[in-house]
């Protein structure tokens, strides 16, 4: 029960979210590597999701990887609708496996969302930050925000 309480406390700690978003605004994609087992988590975590160790160190990602899964979205989240996406303008969201080995969910650009069958698993991608202005939410004030995106290279 003590571990569950600690995990809940950490999950509700907005400091990690705020620090991660600040680093994104500086165009730095960071992860945390467990000193005990070597697991790499992106975004950074205060507790290792593999061994539950709490000795984590920050590591900057190179920003290169490959697309391992994707979906084309026609009914977007409120943030994406604010950017003009929806039934007439689809967007792609995918899982990228970084060269360092961690996986991250992000927007995928440089693909034809009107032809999702042409988007290929294994496509090399590179980090491509998106700057957008959005309304306030529980972890952000209204204004400019930086989001992780990856651009398809082929």
Task: Compute the chain's Rg from CA coordinates.
Answer: 17
Q: What is the pLDDT of residues 3-48, one digit of tens each?
A: 455 445 444 555 567 788 888 989 999 999 999 999 999 999 889 9
Pairwise CA distance, residues 124 & 63, whole Å? 11
For the chain, which residues make up each domain, given as ranges?
Answer: 2-60, 64-152
Q: Is the pTM value of this prediction over 0.85?
A: no
Pairwise CA distance, residues 144 & 146, whole Å? 7
Tell me the CATH number for domain 2-60.
2.20.28
| Token pair 């990690």: residue | 16
- pLDDT of 70 > 80? The answer is yes
Question: Do 2-60 and 64-152 agree at the fold level?
Answer: no
Eight-class DSSP state of 137: B
Higher pLDDT, 145 or 139: 145
Question: 112: which 2 tokens?
Answer: 């034809």
Higher pLDDT, 15 or 91: 91
User: What is the second-level CATH architecture of the domain 64-152?
Assistant: Beta Barrel (2.40)
The pLDDT assigned to 112 comes to 95
Pairwise CA distance, residues 36 & 116, whole Å? 41
Q: What value does the mean pLDDT of the chain take?
A: 86
Question: 3: which 2 tokens?
Answer: 């571990």
């Amino acid at each position: 029960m003590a571990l569950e309480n600690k995990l809940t406390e950490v999950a509700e700690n907005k400091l990690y979210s705020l620090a991660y978003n600040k680093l994104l605004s500086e165009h730095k994609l960071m992860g945390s590597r467990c000193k005990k087992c070597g697991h790499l988590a992106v975004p950074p975590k205060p507790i290792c999701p593999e061994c539950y160790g709490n000795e984590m160190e920050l590591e900057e990602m190179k920003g290169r990887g490959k697309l391992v899964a994707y979906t084309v979205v026609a009914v977007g989240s409120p943030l994406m609708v604010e950017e003009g996406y929806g039934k007439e303008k689809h967007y792609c969201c995918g899982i990228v496996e970084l060269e360092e080995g961690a996986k991250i969910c992000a927007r995928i650009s440089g693909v034809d969302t009107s032809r999702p069958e042409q988007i290929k698993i294994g496509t090399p991608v590179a980090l491509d930050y998106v700057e957008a202005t959005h309304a306030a939410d529980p972890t952000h004030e209204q204004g400019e925000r930086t989001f992780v995106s990856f651009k398809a290279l082929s």
